[in-house]
Structure 1
């Protein structure tokens, strides 16, 4: 059963070593992420699943000990998901950032496993995956990584799309209210067009939370680089 969840963004710039001189611009987001992880720890889960967007070659499960690297971004920094011996399973960027967040928060409260979700995965399959995760232990927690639209401004990665602000506003409202129905109702095609990489992980969360009667809080909402970033805590 799902007892708590944290929703965090996954831009590489969330890791200060990646941001260099611009690291301070996401200080508030980092603080909100640590606060959300604190609420996860307080729920005393038996198991933590980390869910994030992944390309086709990096989808699937990642056991504790899976490693990630930011060398592709020009930074000599490696991370490991959970504790124990390293295993030969390379984390996608979203899960590597989650591993960094967990290390920053000194997570040691429950065994950890990762799940990389492809962006095109339809809502029904996302929800079904979430239900399976929630049923895996008596007390399950989720750390859900994902960004909103990348089309919020002219300088955004996806350029400006006038539909982006409304999409992100509804996503932020649903995440802050733990509104399962609204998250499952996010339009898959629109999310794809707006380059919203969080849509599929958020819908996995929605499936996991069905019937759990969790309350939500939106801890952070901004689009500093033309991309919607949200931090929320469900408990």
Structure 2
């Protein structure tokens, strides 16, 4: 008779079980797979929640980063992960993203490009597509809101001044900051980035809403066109 190497979480030592480990030693002691296993809750007949979590993290070379921008369809195609488990994972990831952005409301005023990077880096560094956003500011450089203008490769056909400034006018913004990400992870501005920025600056002058900067988000690094003296 063949001996099974499959070990369920219940068969593990109590201190090694993810939930018990979290309760006794704290969440920081858990590995990524253990945290994911808690979200998954149960495995399948032949694989534990931890092993299932490990298989999810290993299906893409980006590991944990893969989960940051995946969707329900991608996850539910993984053996052992149905729509229900996929939704649980996606919901938890979205909560994490919103939590990282929650401190926007507590910022008294934007003082430097570094402030912008701190607000948007963890949200935008993992995007697989280019997201173009604007940050609306009042006369004290306090944040009014952030708006997503377009999703996809940044070009002049997608980023029209009308779409950029309509909410800025509606919300009485004094100025705006342009923000977009480079999925490659390299924040170096392209010629297209520079030309679009200059076009929007000129449009802003006509409307009376200044474009203070354009921040490009990479993977753990950013670029400010203002700091580079490009604008």
User: Is TM (by shorter chain) over 0.5?
Assistant: no
Bigger RCO (CA 8 Å, 6+ sep): 1
If the length of structure 1 is used for normalisation, what is the TM-score?
0.28
Normalized per residue, the structure richer in strand is 1
Normalized per residue, the structure richer in helix is 2
